[in-house]
Amino acid sequence: MNPPDLAEEKSVAVAVASGQDIVTARMRGRGLATQLGFPATTATLIATAISELARNILLYAGRGEIVLSAIEQGERRGIAVVARDQGPGITDVPRAMEDGYSTSGRLGLGLPGVRRLMDDFEIRSRAGEGTTVVTKKWNS
C-alpha cells in the first residue's frame, strides 16, 4: 500500500476496528512522515506512537479512528496524529498517564510512551463519551 500524496490532501483518516487497521495506520503514518522529510528513525518512532494509540482504541473502545495530518507552524513542518473513539472514556486521566498503570493487565507504557515519543501531547476524555488524543511531532 502506498501512502497518500499529501500535496493534494492535508490529512487522511484510518478507521480502527481490527488488528489490520493498526498496521494500516502505522504504515500510513510512516509514509506521511517520510514524505514530510523526517529521518527514517523518527518516522519509525512516529509509527510506534500511532501503533500504541490505535491499539488502545481497539483494546478499550473497540473502534475509532486515527487522523494523520501534515501541519505547519511558521517555518516548522510536522505531523499531527489524532486518535479518537467513542468508547467508555478514561475515568482518571492523570493515573492513566503514569508509567506502569494499566487496567488491561498490559505493561502500562502506551500513553506515557506516546507522550515521550512525540513533541506535543494532549488528551481529552470523558467517562461514557470517549477519548481524543492529539499528538504532534515537529521536523526541526
Q: How far apart are CA 111 and CA 84, in angstroms?
A: 13
Q: Looking at residue 97, what is its pLDDT? A: 81
Is residue 92 pLDDT above 70, yes or no? yes
Burial 64-86 (b: 16+ CB within 10 A, else e): bbbbbbbbeeeeeebbbbbbbbe
Cell numbers for 32: 506521511
Tell whether the model's pLDDT for residue 55 goes beyond 70. Answer: yes
DSSP-assigned beta bridge partners for residue 121:
135
Structural domain boundaries in the chain: 11-138
Does domain 11-138 correspond to CATH entry 3.30.565.10? yes
Percent residues over pLDDT 90 in the chain = 73
Spatial separation of the C-alpha atoms in residues 92 and 9, rounded to whole Å:
36
Q: Residue 3 has what pLDDT?
A: 46
The larger pLDDT score, comparing residue 98 to residue 53, is at 53
The pTM for the full model equals: 0.87
Question: How far apart are the C-alpha atoms of 14 and 29, rounded to whole Å?
Answer: 10
